[in-house]
């Protein structure tokens, strides 16, 4: 896959030069306070490397989804303040609603080597996300005199935005940061040159979200495990009774095709054999709920499946522990609920114990692994939900493609 041999921050000379870095500071906030600074922490190795090597570092990122231009609650000011507490150099926040405005231009002009300027939320500009973002791309490049652009926001690499891909047309040098490098290495190698047996685990609610991933991974992996809400569509496609469980009626034929494809390729698809059922979805999501365990293909008409059962958890865990490479994307049930998180916990535990390269593909499974306390036991937890899914589909990501090859 293209992208495994990109120019990195190790390969460029940045002393005294202005370097624009696209980071992922899209951190969760509540009432103007950052509730989790993981993404800022994850960007530090690249930022520190550039600072130590004497670059003038200009950071840009989006935050949230501002609808009508600038909104105070989506300002990157708190992220800039937090960064200032984590690094040993000056951090200046350029508060321009236009992102590249007088504050930014003055701050960058006055920078000394090894200092940092943080720009305002790139999505305050309507043209960040559009096809005609060329003006914004040029303004970002002009701010650093067209010198160096470093892409280190994997979570945004699947979007062809002005600050992720567009700007690369107007700068002399491009490179990936440490975070991007790690993502490309782990996800790229897992899909292209995995150590076998290679087991892929897919969960989450909808088959529709993972159509191409299922098809692509079937060609690459030895065993495909399917849990979560999407498993019920597969079980129904095989003729099972799934009661009131989530089902993607339009995708039943697709599921049949995938089961046939697996057989033809000599690959294993593992589906749940038992499931936790209740009368309805918990409301609120973490409410107490009483469950029964039944065969996954014999769910009573008035019940819905909400998690894999203990027999399934044991089968899935066994398959994961026998692997040399495991990629996991999507929880096994309603993991936000104490009663319905057991299947996801069992998979997390199996991965933690596996003598394998274990890769968590962002999104809810990353949240689950972190919340359940297994993060440090995994080889790699992806920082990009949508981006890692598209990578597993075999798609070329614009934010990766735009960076120069070695």
Rounded CA-CA distance 184/201 in Å is: 19
> pLDDT value at position 274?
98
DSSP sequence for 54-77: T-EEEEE---S--SSS--GGG-SH
Structure tokens at 59: 């950071």
* Cα-based torsion angle of the residue sequence 283, 286, 291, 297 in order, rounded to the nearest 10 degrees: 80
Q: In the Cβ-directed half-sphere of 98, how many Cα atoms lie within 13 Å?
A: 11
Q: What is the mean pLDDT of the chain?
A: 94
Tens of pLDDT, residue by residue over 347-371, are 999 999 999 999 998 778 888 898 8
If you average pLDDT over residues 324-339, what whole number do you get?
Answer: 95
- Choosing from 125, 158, 179, the residue where a domain stops is 179
Say yes or no: 154 and 14 in one domain.
yes
> pLDDT value at position 1?
41
Say yes or no: 238 and 377 in one domain.
yes
- Choosing from 126, 147, 179, the residue where a domain stops is 179
Only one residue has tokens 């200046």, namely 92
For residue 206, the surrounding DSSP H or E stretch is none
| Domain, as residue range, for 149 | 9-179
Q: Who's near 283: CB < 8 A, 6+ residues apart?
A: none
Say yes or no: 284 and 170 in one domain.
no
| pLDDT, greater one: 84 or 5 | 84
Asked whether residue 402 is domain-assigned, the answer is no
Say yes or no: 203 and 329 in one domain.
yes
For residue 190, the surrounding DSSP H or E stretch is helix 178-192
Say yes or no: 120 and 246 in one domain.
no
Kindly report the pTM of this predicted structure. Answer: 0.86
- Choosing from 149, 179, 209, the residue where a domain stops is 179
Residues annotated within the binding site for substrate are 24-26, 39, 62-65, 123, 159
Say yes or no: 126 and 231 in one domain.
no
Asked whether residue 397 is domain-assigned, the answer is no
Say yes or no: 173 and 215 in one domain.
no
Provide the number of structural domains found in the chain. 2
DSSP sequence for 130-183: STTTHHHHHHHHHHTTT-EEEE--GGGTTS--TTTTGGGGG-SEEEE-HHHHHH
At how many degrees (to 10) do helices 385-392 and 363-371 cross?
A: 120
Tens of pLDDT, residue by residue over 1-44, are 444 689 999 999 999 999 999 999 999 999 889 998 989 999 99
Tens of pLDDT, residue by residue over 211-264, are 889 999 999 999 999 999 999 999 999 999 999 999 999 999 999 999 999 999
For residue 51, the surrounding DSSP H or E stretch is helix 38-52
Asked whether residue 96 is domain-assigned, the answer is yes
> pLDDT value at position 277?
98
Catalytic residue list: 39, 206, 363, 386
Say yes or no: 69 and 167 in one domain.
yes
> pLDDT value at position 4?
63
> pLDDT value at position 52?
98
Q: Where are the alpha helices (DSSP H) in 283-403?
A: 310-321, 342-353, 363-371, 385-392, 398-401
Confidence of residue 390 (pLDDT cuts 50, 70, 90): confident
């Amino acid at each position: 896959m293209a992208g495994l041999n990109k120019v990195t921050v190790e390969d460029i000379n940045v002393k005294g030069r202005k370097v624009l870095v696209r980071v992922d500071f899209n951190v969760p906030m509540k009432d103007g306070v950052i509730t989790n600074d993981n993404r800022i922490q994850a960007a530090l190795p690249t930022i520190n490397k550039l600072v130590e090597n004497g670059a003038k570092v200009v950071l840009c990122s989006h935050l949230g989804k501002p609808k009508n231009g600038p909104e105070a609650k989506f300002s990157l000011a708190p992220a800039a303040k937090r960064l200032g507490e984590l690094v040993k150099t000056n951090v200046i926040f350029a508060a321009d609603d236009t992102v590249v405005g007088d504050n930014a231009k003055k701050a960058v002009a006055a920078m000394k080597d090894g200092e940092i300027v943080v720009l305002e939320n790139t999505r305050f500009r309507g043209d960040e996300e559009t096809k005609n973002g060329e003006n914004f791309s040029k303004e970002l490049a002009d701010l650093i005199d067209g010198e160096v652009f470093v892409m280190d926001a994997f979570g945004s690499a699947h979007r062809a935005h002005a600050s992720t891909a567009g700007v690369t047309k107007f700068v002399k040098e491009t490179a990936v940061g440490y975070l991007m490098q790690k993502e490309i290495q782990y996800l790229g190698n897992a899909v292209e040159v995995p150590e076998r047996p290679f087991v892929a685990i897919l969960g989450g609610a909808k088959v529709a979200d993972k159509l191409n991933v299922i098809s692509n991974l079937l060609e690459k992996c030895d065993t495909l495990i399917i849990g979560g809400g999407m498993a019920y569509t597969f079980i129904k496609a095989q003729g099972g009774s799934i009661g009131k469980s989530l089902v993607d009626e339009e995708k039943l034929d697709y599921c049949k095709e995938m089961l046939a494809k697996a057989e033809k390729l000599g690959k294993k698809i593992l589906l749940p054999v038992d499931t936790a059922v209740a009368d309805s979805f918990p409301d609120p999501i973490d409410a107490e709920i009483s469950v029964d365990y039944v065969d996954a293909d014999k769910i009573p008409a008035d019940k819905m499946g909400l998690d894999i059962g203990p027999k399934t958890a044991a089968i899935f865990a066994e398959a994961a522990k026998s692997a040399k490479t495991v990629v996991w994307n999507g929880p096994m049930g309603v993991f936000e609920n104490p009663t319905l998180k057991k299947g996801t916990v069992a998979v997390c535990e199996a991965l933690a114990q596996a003598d394998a390269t274990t890769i968590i593909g962002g999104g809810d499974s990353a949240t689950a692994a972190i919340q359940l306390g297994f993060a440090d036991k995994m080889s790699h937890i992806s920082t990009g939900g949508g981006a890692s899914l598209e990578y597993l589909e075999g798609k070329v990501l614009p934010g990766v493609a735009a960076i120069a090859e070695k």
